[in-house]
Structure 1
Amino acid sequence: MTLAPSRATDLPVSDADPFSHEVLEDPLPMHEQLREAGPVVYLSRYDVYALARYEQVHAALVDWQQFQSAAGVGLSNFRTEKPWRPPSLLLEADPPRHDAPRRVLSKVLGPRALRGLRDAWVADAEVLVDEVLADGPEFDVVPRLAEAFPLRVFPDAVGLPAEGRENLLPYGDHAFNAFGPANDLVAKGEHRVAELSGWVGSVCARDVLAPEGFGADIWAAADRGDITPAMAPLVVRSLLTAGVDTTVHGISAVLSGFATHPDQWQRLRQDPGLARVAFDEAVRWESPVQTFFRTATTDVRIGGTVVPEGRKVLMFLAAANRDPRRWTDPDRFDLGRDPSGHVGFGMGLHQCVGQHVARLEAEAVLTALARRVRSIELAGAPRRHHNNTLRAWESLPVRLEVG
């Protein structure tokens, strides 16, 4: 990556490609260079303004008036380009259009609903961990736990039919790739876009969903007039787009943290109540969602730079989550830290509405493991899965000592 000051201003200019395979494999060096370059860096390759420090990323996330989501949270600018699918009513909308769907989904995924699911999910995690451990001490936690548990409980909670659930992960993978440039990662999924989008659209329909579940609750909100019938399937789709992949990669991240920080696993075993802290610390530390874009609605001054109206702003959530200006020893996975200020779930009114669902899933898995497993260590070389937006593991082989 080459950094140089602009001739016209003191704005640092970088030719870095955040979506190259080299950076996706290990983004930390680029994140550090961008943070140290200044509060704003111009990325010449994509003609966007980048924010990598915590202060500026947090400020942009909460300022929806000047940094809109409605023009798309990816590189594509919906002011001038047609989206590949109808925009999300939550992620890609601003008030007032955003408000009613957000209220509905916040209620559907609220504390009362999660209390009703807790016992069943905890029991399901116990059964899954027993099944995995019965096969021996070495296995790949990505397919066996991180993918298996969300795919075991979340589609049931939504009310999806059993057939076709294998489409959830490839659909989500393409959706998050599509937030980046039209590179090879997008191209690899394009041949299935019609098929996957068709399946997702079909299972969001009222008559396909189970009579009880998150999906049915969303349609009931349409019946009450809280949202329109046309909005209901798009709100259900939001659950399916963001409710699986990010949880899968969050659980992978926390298990990676424990496999590489054995002292922290012992800390959790001694106090299983730290399970939710551990998950949030892993979301800070690894940032399963690495980046999101906003679009300036007016000329916005950031530090000494004016970002012109209509220009895309790339927020590096992951870089902000390891900014030493905000965090002490940021590269360490540490259960003694208060990670609650992290921006891994966003911040402000667009903050992830399903984050408490993800926390409950992770808590169930970690608590079940902590009861049975004395130690977790890597049993082979982990392998990354590259995605334009997500930080993910393809494979994470571990060895568990039970006892």
Structure 2
Amino acid sequence: MLEDPLPFQGQLRETGPVVRLSAHDVYALGRYEQVHAVLRNWQSFQSAAGVGLSNFRYEKPWRPPSLLLEADPPHHDAPRAVLEKVLGPRALRKLHGAWFADAENLVEAVVAQREFDAITQLAQAFPLRVFPDTVGIPKSGRENLLPYGDHLFNAFGPRNDLFTRGDASIGELSAWVNAQCAREVLDENGFGAAIWAAADRGDITYEQAPLVVRSLLSAGVDTTVHGIAAVLYAFATHPEQWSRLRAAPHLARVAFDEAVRWESPVQTFFRTATRDTEVAGVPVREGEKVLMFLGAANRDPRRWHDADVFDLDRDPSGHVGFGMGLHQCVGQHVARLEASALLSALAKRVERIELAGPAKRHHNNTLRAWESLPIRVRLV
């Protein structure tokens, strides 16, 4: 199913609005209406018991829970407000020029090869080039970010071989990530320093500050990498849409959101019922886990016309690829800026993108991820 989840997702949607997965003893939602409703209803379906299969009410989490993903009001509010300010429009405007210039430099060097791996040389290279600099962590050790994030998202699923393989090295990876969150390690002009400054103002506590920095390093890389990979794959397989983007470069952000809808880098998230309630008339008891298939909801034909088609004429707003409601991804505008910078640079230099060989998926319990995407380009 991890190699190609679409047949299962279609079957899940057509089976009913709520399906019981007996193997894992959870309720599963695949239709947009129910997924959207549960994501928005944090009062009845909490994140604090874990957004993965593990139930923090009864199981100890493998790391201190995220103050954003795995917390609800009131504990969620202050860290969320700090990050919304740190990652707000003013900060992103300051990054715009530098990131677009950096994207053009990277693209110029990569497309000169004519054939290359779009995962390692673009989708991974650009976020790992600009985002850690912006957070303010040192350059050494950044190769730890992707395997750390990979294990984090594997840990949201069952304790299978994917989780076990990462578990062997997670102690060392966690120690490195935690060390980067210390005040004295961070560049004084980065996002990380701004988070610590919020602690100085009393907006958050000093104990919370490193955990908020960790949220940037945990969820700010892998999801963007695979979102960029998704949009590059979409254009390599839809040449008419690439021509459309080149004719209207302002559609770069629409293209990224449409790719996030179409491929859904984050495929699943869990919630836990805080009380006896129901979903689409199906009783859900307090303490039970509900598994939302974001990828299935984003291709639900009840919500989207020609849902399986990647189409720049579509308005993809409302997709649940970044979540929805109170816990919607706080860094989504950063991801859009990274993707827009890279796509804009490519549109200036590349007339056509096509596959140069078979794409290879990277299996992860939560992510729709990529290992390799060989592409060939024809330059302008």
TM-score range relative to shorter protein:
over 0.9
Structure 2 partner of 1:8: none
Is 1:157 the equivalent of 2:112?
A: no
Deviation at 1:191, TM superposition (A): 1.1
Is 1:343 the equivalent of 2:305?
A: no
Is 1:361 the equivalent of 2:338?
A: yes
Structure 1 partner of 2:144: 167
Structure 1 partner of 2:349: 372
Structure 2 partner of 1:190: 167
Is 1:50 the equivalent of 2:28?
A: yes
Structure 1 partner of 2:257: 280
Deviation at 1:41, TM superposition (A): 0.1
Distance 1:179 1:214 in 2: 26
Structure 2 partner of 1:30: 8
Is 1:114 the equivalent of 2:92?
A: yes
Normalised by the length of structure 2, the TM-score is 1.00
Q: Which amino acid aligns with 2:139?
A: A
Q: Which moved further from structure 2: 74-83 or 293-302?
A: 293-302
Is 1:201 the equivalent of 2:161?
A: no
Q: Which amino acid aligns with 1:178?
A: A
Q: Which amino acid aligns with 1:238?
A: S
Q: CA RMSD in A?
A: 0.5
SS of 1:253's equivalent in the other structure is helix
Q: Which amino acid aligns with 1:109?
A: L
Q: Which runs of 5+ in 2 are unaligned?
A: none
SS of 1:221's equivalent in the other structure is helix
Structure 1 partner of 2:285: 308
Distance 1:169 1:302 in 2: 36
Is 1:59 the equivalent of 2:41?
A: no
Deviation at 1:292, TM superposition (A): 0.2
Deviation at 1:116, TM superposition (A): 0.4
SS of 1:374's equivalent in the other structure is strand
The structure 2 residue matched to 1:227, chosen from 187, 201, 204, is 204
Distance 1:383 1:155 in 2: 26
Distance 2:64 2:314 in 1: 40
Normalised by the length of structure 1, the TM-score is 0.94
Could you list the per-position Cα deviations for residues 342-401 of structure 1 after superposition, in whole angstroms to 9, with x for gaps in the alignment? 000000010000000000000000000000100000000000000000001110000100
Q: Which amino acid aligns with 1:367?
A: S
Is 1:261 the equivalent of 2:238?
A: yes
Q: Which amino acid aligns with 1:115?
A: R
Structure 2 partner of 1:12: none
Structure 2 partner of 1:71: 49
Could you list the per-position Cα deviations for residues 264-287 of structure 1 after superposition, in whole angstroms to 9, with x for gaps in the alignment? 000000000000000000000000
The structure 2 residue matched to 1:246, chosen from 219, 223, 240, is 223
Distance 1:150 1:193 in 2: 22
SS of 1:24's equivalent in the other structure is coil
Structure 1 partner of 2:122: 145
Instruction: Report the count of equivalent residues.
Output: 380
SS of 1:207's equivalent in the other structure is helix
Distance 1:254 1:153 in 2: 19
Distance 2:179 2:318 in 1: 38
Distance 2:157 2:280 in 1: 26
Structure 2 partner of 1:17: none
Q: Which amino acid aligns with 1:40?
A: V
Deviation at 1:25, TM superposition (A): 0.3
Deviation at 1:65, TM superposition (A): 0.3
Deviation at 1:300, TM superposition (A): 1.5
SS of 2:185's equivalent in the other structure is coil
Is 1:326 the equivalent of 2:289?
A: no
Q: Which moved further from structure 2: 295-304 or 353-362?
A: 295-304
Distance 2:254 2:156 in 1: 29
Distance 2:148 2:278 in 1: 37
Distance 1:392 1:237 in 2: 22
Structure 2 partner of 1:14: none
Q: Which amino acid aligns with 1:130?
A: E
Over the matched positions of the two proteins, sequence identity in percent amounts to 75
The structure 2 residue matched to 1:132, chosen from 110, 124, 143, is 110
Distance 1:156 1:191 in 2: 28
SS of 1:162's equivalent in the other structure is coil
Distance 1:36 1:308 in 2: 24
Distance 2:338 2:325 in 1: 23
The structure 1 residue matched to 2:82, chosen from 84, 104, 122, is 104
Deviation at 1:304, TM superposition (A): 2.6
Could you list the per-position Cα deviations for residues 295-349 of structure 1 after superposition, in whole angstroms to 9, with x for gaps in the alignment? 0011111123101110000000000000000000000000000000100000001
Is 1:89 the equivalent of 2:71?
A: no
Distance 1:131 1:143 in 2: 14
